[in-house]
Amino acid sequence: MLKRPTHSAVTQFIASILPPKTNDVPLLYHVPRHPRYNPDNALVEQVVLSITPTPGVYDLIGHPHEGTIVTADESSPIVLPRLPRTICFLHRPFDLERRRVRNGTLVLSSHTSFDEHLTVGWNAALAERLGMSVVKSLCVQGYKADAERKIGILGQVAMLRDLLLRRIKQEFGTIEHVQEGQSDEIRVIAIMNAFNAEEVDRVLDMARARTWIPSEPLYGRHVLYLTGQPRESGMLAAEEHGMTVVCVGHRIAEEWGIRRMATMLRLAFPTLQVREIYEEEIRPDRTPGPSDLSASC
């Protein structure tokens, strides 16, 4: 019989796919306060994954049977089932209402590292699914004040644009915006977590330095730039060089990451019940506290 994993085992696994960063939110975002809590022997039966804390998340990690009647009358009490031992993962945990988290529940989080590895950044799994060779690809690294931040992956393909667009739509379920470039033949894909004129030029310079694209007018026409949100400066620069741009949407990219995490957890821990929540957050009216360390951009 397979053993139940512990808090330590699940935490270490998530840290292995989302390496903690010094400028990120704490991985251990909300830790049980019981004096005898020990992550090495605290068992897990359920993992809840969400971008943000939502009503559906609180239904699964909140206090048991909140607001319900637990006895029909004095003579016939209702015996309520024990709720599963739970770990929750949140990508953007900043509005978590800690008082609503039931005792014994661990809340993990990753913001910057999740963006890097599981959205449209240095996403090796997505790159491979789109036909890129990760070992032969280039890392686009450094953004704003963070020289170590991986904001993209750049690699070669040999694919018609329409086929590539179909693959991207299959991965994300939808595409928010497409700006078609000057060629139907795509030779280079840039999966990028930033989109402005400077990053478009950096991608093109890197591809030209490797001779992946020719140094001639409209030399970006064989490049597809895959990102989240459309940005005017990025769109104008891409159009100038004949580049194709695909914007899947910021939240859609995050949801891809949640689905990927769910798949990896199910494979690593077959006994776990993995619950994915895809719904909008209802933001509480409150002032952020000192524990709400954000690397949001």
- What are the tens digits of pLDDT across the range 149-167? 999 999 999 999 999 999 9
pLDDT of residue 291: 44
Same domain, 71 and 155: no
Convert the pLDDT of each residue in 77-114 to its tens digit.
Answer: 666 677 899 999 999 999 999 999 999 999 999 999 99
Cβ neighbours for 218, distance < 8 A, ≥ 6 positions apart: 182, 241, 242
Residue 272 has pLDDT above 60, yes or no: yes
**Structural domain includes residue 147:** yes
DSSP, res 116:
H
Residue 287 has pLDDT above 90, yes or no: no
User: Which of 141-150, 227-236, 249-258 is predicted least confidently?
Assistant: 141-150
Mean pLDDT for 31-58 is 96
Residue 126 has pLDDT above 70, yes or no: yes
Q: What CATH number should be reported for the domain holding residue 35? A: 3.40.1390
Same domain, 243 and 127: yes
CA distance 179 to 245: 5
pLDDT of residue 201: 97
pLDDT of residue 290: 45
pLDDT of residue 136: 97
Same domain, 131 and 90: no
Mean pLDDT for 186-196 is 97
Q: What CATH number should be reported for the domain holding residue 209? A: 3.40.1390.30
Both tokens of 171, joined, read 């991965």
Mean pLDDT for 177-205 is 97
Q: What is the pTM of this model?
A: 0.88
pLDDT of residue 164: 98
115 labelled binding-site residue: yes
CA distance 117 to 46: 23
> 185 phi and psi, to 5 degrees?
-100, 120
Exposed, middle or buried, 241 (CB in 10 Å: 0-12/13-18/19+)? buried
121 contacts 110 by C-beta, under 8 angstroms: no
On average, the pLDDT of the chain sits at 91
Same domain, 128 and 242: yes
Same domain, 130 and 198: yes
Which domain, by its residues, includes 89? 7-114+255-277
Residue 68 has pLDDT above 60, yes or no: no
**Structural domain includes residue 288:** no
What SS3 string covers 149-176?
A: EEEEEEEEEEEEHHHHHHHHHHHHCCCC
CA distance 258 to 254: 7
Same domain, 154 and 242: yes
254 labelled binding-site residue: yes
Number of structural domains (the chain) is 2
Q: What is the C-alpha R_g of the chain?
A: 22
89 contacts 50 by C-beta, under 8 angstroms: yes
